[in-house]
Amino acid sequence: MDDGAATLRVAFWNTWLLRPRLWKDGPVIPGGARVFAPDVPARAPLVGQALRGRFDVIALSEVFEASEQRAVAASWPGVHAVAGPQRRGIGRAGSGLLTLVDPDRAAVTHTAHHAYRARGDWRDSDSMATKGVVLTRIRVADHLPEIDVFATHLIAGGDLVPAPGADHTHRHHGARMRQVDELVAFIEEERRPANPMLVVGDLNVAAHDPDTADPQHRYEDLAIRLGRIGLVDLWSAHGVGHGHTCTFTEPHHLPVDDDHPDLVADHPHHDHTHPGERIDYLWLAQAADGTSVVEADRPRRWAFPGRGVVGGPAGSLSDHLALSTTLTIRPA
């Protein structure tokens, strides 16, 4: 590009590499492949292979074990891997966050992370995970500002024990919004005014929640908080169709795109009544000092089917779709 612009292919993916252990570094919970996630050791290297060369920066979640982190990174020789926070304590799991940066396309200049104080309780399936956020600051070109990539995974809640209040979605949403408040505070502490930023992750907030009196209320709760620091939901701004990223049960829920067999086709006439839900996000904010402009292409969804392993119920490699966009950064 002759105007000093550069491009960056970025993505987020909840990989579902979930293999809990009885204790840290102890044996895997018996029967976990049936209860939590299937074929984790086989899927981990396939995750890395699917991503290598396709994206320049990819933020992952649910890569909890060091063995899975190594397997993903080993499939992409030379990749710069940045892990999220890890609380100490008996039974504590890591954050599952892992951001990969292709060193041939971008340089990592700074990293930081924060473990959320707000979380669920003993009734919640992810109460032992270190929910938090990881910042990866990258430089694409010397004449352009750095880009701050914040990756997070908010609490899901419920499903651990059938106790009173375990399935109270109002309680879960309150915990998530407290985590979002911590996320915003961390961003405000770490962000540089000259840097555009991305906030990506599985936020466990449905863009349309039919189980509530106002299906948009919880999403609006989220969007107001992130909008205060200039963040824009890229699917809402540029996506085609509903943009659902998980909760698929049948292969026909994930029609293959004509452009690439790993892409899911987007249909403008598919609305929120189509199977699935949108809880994975890419949010973009321009540089606060106005010295650069970032444009985002239409976001796309990736299933990575047909890898010869058991993955998501609809045939995808994970139970979530990867979500990507290409950014073009240029001086203002």
CATH, residue 292: 3.60.10.10
pLDDT at position 163: 77
User: Is 118 part of a structural domain of the chain?
Assistant: yes
35 domain-assigned: yes
What does the mean pLDDT of the chain come to? 91
Q: Is residue 246 part of a domain?
A: yes
Distance of alpha carbon 230 from alpha carbon 170, whole angstroms: 26
Q: How far apart are CA 24 and CA 11, in angstroms?
A: 30
SS3 label, residue 249: coil
- The stretch 26-53 carries a mean pLDDT of 86
> Structural domain of residue 183, as residue ranges?
6-331
- Residue 262: what pLDDT? 97
CA 202 – CA 193 distance, rounded (Å): 25
Q: What percent of the chain has pLDDT over 90?
A: 73
Structural domain includes residue 261: yes
H or E element that contains 328: strand 322-331
Residue 1 in domain:
no
Residue 72 lies in a domain: yes
Question: What average pLDDT does the segment 74-99 reach?
Answer: 87
Q: How many domains does the chain have?
A: 1
Q: Which of 18, 81, 19 is nearest to 48 (CA)?
A: 81
